[in-house]
Structure 1
Amino acid sequence: MDFENLFDKFYKEANSRSEIKKSRFKGESSIVVGAESRDSYELVLQGPQSEFILQEVIRKQFGKSGYNSTPIGTHPDFIHLESSDELVKQYSCTMFVDIKGSTRLSLLYDLEQVFLFKNAVIQTCVEVVRAFDGCVHRLMGDAVMSFFGSKEKSKEDAIADAVNCAATLRVILEKSIKPWMSANQFDDKDFGFRVGLDFGNDDQVLWGNFGYSTVAEVSATGLPIDMASKLQGLASKNQTMLGQGLLEHIEWPDYYSKEKEQVRKNEDGTEFTVKVPYVKPNITCSEGKPINYRMKEFDFKKFMEVSALPDKVRSEINNNIRLNPAIRFDCYVIDDDGRKKYISASRYLEKDLSLVFEVSANKNSRLLFPLQVKFTKTNHGQFVPDNKSGIPLPSKPYTLSKKSSNQFSQGNSPYSTVSHLESTSYRGLHTMKCEVKDKNGNTVFTDWIGVMIK
């Protein structure tokens, strides 16, 4: 996945579509074309490959097939609510994304330039959301509101999609959009994203048709929906805030989040830092007591340890990751049908499944064999027994020699391989760390795989 050139390519495609529209409409003075026909004609001109250019790259990386062509507006599960008085309770993971610092661009550059850039950024947000099976509900100036989840998708997977979407948006911002701005003399000093994420269960989210007649939209209401918006407003530049509903439903590990901090000043002007654990303003319940709705700041850098984003990008952001082109580290789910690769922290697995963690080293490389391999698992959450949540548990040592093989190897493989067996036992996000040292004791590889369990 070439993140460095991803936005540049998308920006050029967006401008190309704009030029196609201009040239087409200039020649339409003698032709009457219905709205539906014009939309179809435009789609033929631009081609699906240009609209889904980001989706194609991202979905492949996260093991998703096909494209998400859901249009903006009504969630597909609730089309039947249009022009209806029916109300439906169904969960949702809600995301608000605000593009910070874009207003000032209108004071610095030609408006057409600003439009083309801002539109490409918004289109990027839209396509990243759709790449993770999200439904873009509304564009609000420089903000995008989206829903993740459906009656066909588990609640846990909807949250996984939303979290991975937030992480991917930040990577594209830092590795693609901001470098593009610098290369094209756009001021990127204050530019960034602010994201709010929260989850509401079936009994907390109500869907219905707001408004009346032709001035209406099908949307959702509930405390978690409103909190997602407030969380976005409380997020610092290029940060994502996670709400209590999300944190509690999936046992989100403290390791991958942190309390928001706010800098304040004493009377003498000296600064000090305070923790902000609850959404502000701290609203009250019917009894007049503050609800103390918890929030955490997503720890983007630490999450890169388990993210399914490209290894090169992850290691640039988090230098705890040490890659080696001659070493592979993978996880597989084992069942009666064989084994299937599990992409790190991409989806939630059922309990009581067998896992195999596999490390392979190229025997024809310059690695100094034999290699010593150590697996270290860390379980998180309240369901982990014996107060071992968050405690690293190392495995027995393994050795990779040039003669090593395993039960899955066939023939004379150029790789030496060792496997470590585990199972899916506790709800939450858990990790397996792999460290490889050469015969001289030098660390030549360090990486993690995150396993999400329902």
Structure 2
Amino acid sequence: MNDSPIGTHPDFIALEGTVTTQNHYACTLFVDIKGSTRLSVLYPLDIVFKFKNAVIQTCVEIIRSFDGHVHRLMGDAVMAFFGGNSTEKEDAVADAINCSITLRVILEESIKPWMEQKGLDAKDFGFRVGCDFGDDHEVLWGSFGYQNVGEVSATGLPVDMASKLQGLASKNQTMLGQGLLDFVNWPEKYSQIKTRDKGGVQENLPVVTPNLTDNEGTPIDYVMRQLSYSKSLEFSALPRSFRERITEGSVKAHSQINFKCFTLINGKRSQYISASKFLDPNISLVFEVEARTSNRLNFPLKVVFKKTNHGKAVPDNERDIEQKEQVKYIQKKPISQHIKSIAPFPKVELNEATLYRGLHTMKCEVYEDDGALLFRDWIGVMIR
């Protein structure tokens, strides 16, 4: 359980009050509450305080649940770092992205209804998230200030950009920076170029503005992309029935059907939670679908698997393209030759393996014998 206090990251406490600095990567996340200032005009301050504190506390708990470290509260904003001495760089990015997705889910599906129940005007409420990654040579940790008027923090372009990205994010959106996008080969499918209306014309904003320049006055064109929330929910590890409701049917849950992924490492089989961490290359994977027979499902069930590989290392004729489906059938079968009772959870398996760096997905659809779609879901596999 992550119950670290706010303030100095536990891995850099030794820097407090010293002139020592340390290069170490960081995945930085900024969350800002949008529209809360107006509440101070509309409602008594004690009510405004309770609301703001409820949102801040929610952000803090979600960040910590994904192993993030809350660095600072700044009015209506929260600054957090992901990663540390015992966390792989790629996993810090995975945690930050999953945190961003979950933040939106909770703030939209829980905080807004709570506001309405309390009689608060929720129409202007929202949030903005900025997130970026900086590698060891790009981030420097040190003790800023002096004595009891200071803090240990990180500096570097990717850290500063996370704040700028938050400021450039649209309402209820997450902006991802170039450092993060490039480091893990984040797929274009799960992000998009931000647009804005300018004089009735849609204008693309592919880079951070205002555009910074280098020593020679050349614009650095720091790339930014808006996280595609609806598409990312497809591979999220949030409960399937919940995702079905908020994805408007893209995900289709069924209480009697389950879809899982397992890794096989040195003969040990372990469940891999969708997009939860990065796996090494050349690891055996098993995708498993099982169905309960003690119901009215019309067997045999047709199971259709479709994988999509992303990333720069994927061959051009395969990259970002849903591959040819692989079909298997779940049959009702006796437990054994000697026991005529039907196996309660018949299943099918598909063998795969990790190969290309980046995020990849396996889509699974299950059809009843009459062709009716019963189930649809995705599992995201991250490979370092």
TM-score surpassing 0.5?
A: yes
Separation in 2, partners of 1:419, 1:89: 45
Structure 1: runs of 5+ lacking an equivalent? 1-66, 266-270
Q: CA RMSD in A?
A: 1.4
**1:311 pairs with 2:245:** no
**1:255 pairs with 2:189:** yes
Q: Is the 8 A contact 1:311 1:323 kept in 2?
A: yes
**1:102 pairs with 2:32:** no
Shift of residue 438, structure 1, vs aligned partner:
1.1
Amino acid at match of 1:426: Y
Q: 1:385 to 1:404 in 2, by over 3 A?
A: farther
Q: 1:443 to 1:280 in 2, by over 3 A?
A: same
**1:425 pairs with 2:355:** yes
Residues 210-219 or 246-255, more deviating: 210-219
Match of 1:286 among 211, 215, 233: 215
**1:274 maps to what in 2?**
203
1:274-296 deviation line (CA, Å, top 9, x unaligned): 11100000010111100000000
Q: Which 4+ residue blocks in structure 1 deviate beyond 4 angstroms?
A: none
Separation in 2, partners of 1:322, 1:213: 57
Separation in 1, partners of 2:179, 2:317: 24
1:157-195 deviation line (CA, Å, top 9, x unaligned): 000000011111100011100001111101101111100
Separation in 2, partners of 1:335, 1:145: 37
Shift of residue 403, structure 1, vs aligned partner:
1.5
**1:194 maps to what in 2?**
128
**1:381 maps to what in 2?**
311
Amino acid at match of 2:300: P
Match of 1:91 among 25, 44, 55: 25
Q: Is the 8 A contact 2:31 2:166 kept in 1?
A: yes
User: Percent of aligned pairs with the same residue?
Assistant: 57
Shift of residue 386, structure 1, vs aligned partner:
4.3
Q: Is the 8 A contact 1:95 1:195 kept in 2?
A: yes
Amino acid at match of 1:214: N
**1:343 maps to what in 2?**
273
Q: 1:276 to 1:368 in 2, by over 3 A?
A: same
Q: Is the 8 A contact 1:404 1:416 kept in 2?
A: no
Secondary structure class of the residue paired with 2:234: coil
**2:153 maps to what in 1?**
219
For normalisation by structure 2, the TM-score amounts to 0.96
Instruction: Report how many aligned residue pairs link the two structures.
Output: 379
**1:115 maps to what in 2?**
49
Separation in 2, partners of 1:128, 1:317: 19
Separation in 1, partners of 2:268, 2:89: 27
1:79-125 deviation line (CA, Å, top 9, x unaligned): 00001000100000000000011111111111111111211211111
Q: Is the 8 A contact 1:232 1:241 kept in 2?
A: yes
Amino acid at match of 2:208: V
Q: Is the 8 A contact 2:186 2:358 kept in 1?
A: yes
Separation in 2, partners of 1:110, 1:317: 33
Shift of residue 387, structure 1, vs aligned partner:
3.0
Shift of residue 337, structure 1, vs aligned partner:
4.3
Secondary structure class of the residue paired with 1:393: coil
Separation in 1, partners of 2:170, 2:157: 22
Amino acid at match of 1:346: S
Higher strand share: 2
